Amino acid sequence: MGNVYGYVRVSTSEQNEDRQLIAMNTVQVPERNIYMDKQSGKDFKRPMYMRMLKRLKQDDVLYIKSIDRLGRDYEEVLEQWRMLTKEKKVDIVVLDMPLLDTRRGRDLMGTFLSDIVLQVLSFVAENERKNIRERQKEGIEAARRRGVRFGRPAKPVPENFEQACGKWEAGEITGREAAMECNMPFSSFYRKAGDRSKQQS
């Protein structure tokens, strides 16, 4: 019997990891053997995950709360699962999905069923992530059509902008001179002047 480890991941520093830590405590994973990353699951370049990999050895058991805590990319999750179970010969237990427990059914049928369940769940997790992204994209587009503006609010133009624009349009000063009078970058002056022309036409 090897050592017992737990892996916890939250996508951002604002998310709460308590639920996952409670689950690790329930299955009696020693606190020193719990590794936690606070970053996206889009790839496996995570410092604590990489540190844990170096410690894992044959017959160790790795607990995770759910398959998407391991990762979000379908192919990479499958590759990591294969590497852990086949190369390192580590057992993995997914607490939210009892069928994904490689300690059970070490015969060919048990392994076969576990692999099928993993592939289906990994596909569902990635598909849901793509659907969320698509819904976000559609929501942003709908908001833009309603006139909602995203990003930082535009800086107000200086008080003498209209006067400087008028002098520039009349040919009294160059665009660079007008920008300098307004204490604006040259590109910003031209952009604001272009917006002003569109509004007047």
Q: With CA atoms as reference, report the closest residue to 119 among 73, 62, 65, 78.
A: 78
Q: Which residues are catalytic?
A: 11
Tokens found for residue 44: 């496996």
Contact 118, 67 (CB under 8 A): yes
C-alpha angle with apex 184: 179 to 187, nearest 5 degrees? 75
CA torsion sign for 189, 191, 192, 195 is positive
Q: Please report, to the nearest 10 degrees, the dihedral formed by the alpha carbons of residues 57, 59, 62, 67 taken in order.
A: 110
Q: Which residue has the tokens 């049928």?
A: 109
What are the distances in angstroms from CA 118 to CA 43, 78, 136, 194? Answer: 18, 8, 27, 56
Longest CA span, the chain: 88
